[in-house]
Structure 1
Amino acid sequence: MSQQEFWNNKFARDGYLYGLKPNTFLASKIKLLKRDSNLLCLGEGEGRNAIFFAKRGFKVTAIDASDIGLEKLENRAKEENLEIQTCCMDLNDWQDDKKYDVIVASYLHMYKDERAQLFEQIEESLAQDGYFIGEFFSKKQLNYTSGGPKDEDLLYSVDDFKKHFLYCEKDIKEVVTILDEGKGHQGEACVIRVIIQKL
């Protein structure tokens, strides 16, 4: 099953699988960022993070494999009178010459052997002093029932990030938190939180 088929099956249901609120960790780091910056949301799904940042003056682009998820995002953006650029593609196919001041992601489902290429593209796409901020399910999430993949190859370790982004300042932590994100993420979870700044 392709990424598009997988996520379209999830997003085809009524409502918003992960709710309307942004990811709490991403939202909490807005103070690090300059308003009016070019911001890219990776694997953005139904648009909760994109809407949050666009409302606060960022120039937002959102990429996702699901055309159904992005259609929901676009409909919300119209209702809120927001301009958000969307791009429907598998992140394995993402190549971008544009530079972004901020790249954000919450819970990217990327297989372990696909990440090196993605992380290189993220680093390449960041402007100098730009930030990559993300929250990802830890391998320890297999011990919890709050959501996320049950395949360890889709889960992350701190080392996955430490061994990449070599020319960046990195703040990478594994924490246990409580998720309250729609029907999809509810309860105690083990996540990896990443703040990476390109030097």
Structure 2
Amino acid sequence: MSFGNIVLLVIVGIAAYLIAIYNKFVSLRAGIDAAWSDIDVQLKRRYDLIPALVDTVKGYKNYEADTLEKVIKARQVGLTASSIEEKSAAANMLSGALSKLFALAEAYPDLKANENFLHLQGELSRLEETIQNARRYYNAIVRDYNAKLESFPDLFVAQKFNFEPRDYFELEESEAEAVKKMPKIDL
């Protein structure tokens, strides 16, 4: 092999390596977008259940209106949130409000026995678990993507093509405890 062929082979090898790095970034970014879409769908499903839950609880006269207002407000904030940070904060707020709602339901035996309430509570509990699993998956892909952004020599490709770090979909520690305490009901 001549020197020219060796140089050409090295250049082709470097180009192929850089293309592979770029394609991995594109693949990870698409995975993040798909994982976020899954979370968004699950959050929407949870927000769609809230009006039925509120209507069921409103039927009980002495029920704390303040708790219902917090649930309604948290739902509205979630529906209008646009960024991941806003949606994360809204999801945390709703989880906290729902856990308080379910805790207060313990004081109302008729409400606890209401079939519609139990069904909605079970659906919300299953959705919380699904959201938690989707959040873990999303955060794992974001972690891999963000780590790749800072890895050598990948960071040069990331900078050249403006790949930006992504935010995690985080659950506040206090809200994580509240979600763990939500009742699990199998219907």
- The TM tier, using the shorter chain, reads under 0.3
Structure label with greater radius of gyration: 2
Q: Which has the higher helix share?
A: 2
Which has the higher relative contact order, 1 or 2, with Cα contacts under 8 A spaced 6 or more apart? 2
TM-score by length of 2: 0.25
TM-score by length of 1: 0.24
